[in-house]
Amino acid sequence: MKRFYICSYGGCGSTMLTNLLEQFGEAYHIHDRFPKKELYLPEGEHFGDELDTNPESKIVFIYSAPEYSMATSCAWGVQHWRNIGISCPESIELNKEKYAKDNFDHIRFEEFFDNYYLNPRTYNVIFVNYHSLWEVQRELFCLLGIEATLPAYKNKERKIYKMECLDGFNKRLEMLPKLFIN
């Protein structure tokens, strides 16, 4: 049976993608900041202690520009920050405008991304940029071994607060292919 792990720091379409992939096998929504060297079955939204030996398991890391993720309601708040491994999430400013003016990435988006991108693992990770997801969906679903179509894109109005401290990370993300295996 196919098994899909959809990993992200939140606010990047991971829930939508997980819900779609549930039609094709087991699909798990993962917000684990620290992926393990070997692939483990999930416990809630994190990797657990039981090794995943399924050769059909696929890991997708979906990401977006951090300011876009911050603009979503599902990825903003103490409970979400606790889920993604932020220490002392209660101390983070809840007002997005004030948070952005502080110009300090308390959520550590780049660290979260790099934990999947740079750390050595025994399994491949498919990376996909949410902002290009509809453009590369055929290629993504081919890599996942399924025939699917994403739901229609919903262009939701979001108030985006630009943060200079994220400029370097945003430039890194822009330079990456829209879809790639690492």
Measuring CA to CA, which residue among 140, 123, 148, 142 is closest to residue 180? 140
pTM across the whole model: 0.94
pLDDT above 80: residue 156:
no
Give the amino acid at 105: D
Ranges assigned E (strand) in the chain: 3-7, 26-30, 40-43, 46-51, 57-63, 126-129, 179-181
- CA-CA-CA-CA torsion sign (138, 139, 140, 146): positive
Burial label, 157 (beta-carbon count in 10 A; 0-12, 13-18, 19+)? exposed
Q: Around Cβ 143, how many Cβ atoms within 10 Å?
A: 17
Query: pLDDT band at residue 74, thresholds of 50, 70 and 90?
Result: confident
Q: What is the pLDDT of residues 2-48, one digit of tens each?
A: 999 999 999 999 999 999 999 999 999 999 999 999 999 999 999 99
Mean pLDDT of 59-83: 91
pLDDT of the residue at 4: 98
Highest averaged pLDDT of the listed ranges 60-74, 89-103, 142-156, 167-181 = 167-181
**Range 41-49, long-range pairs (CB < 8 A, 24+ positions):** 42/5, 45/83
Measure the CA–CA gap between 60 and 17, rounded to whole angstroms: 10
pLDDT averaged over the chain? 94
Give the amino acid at 97: E
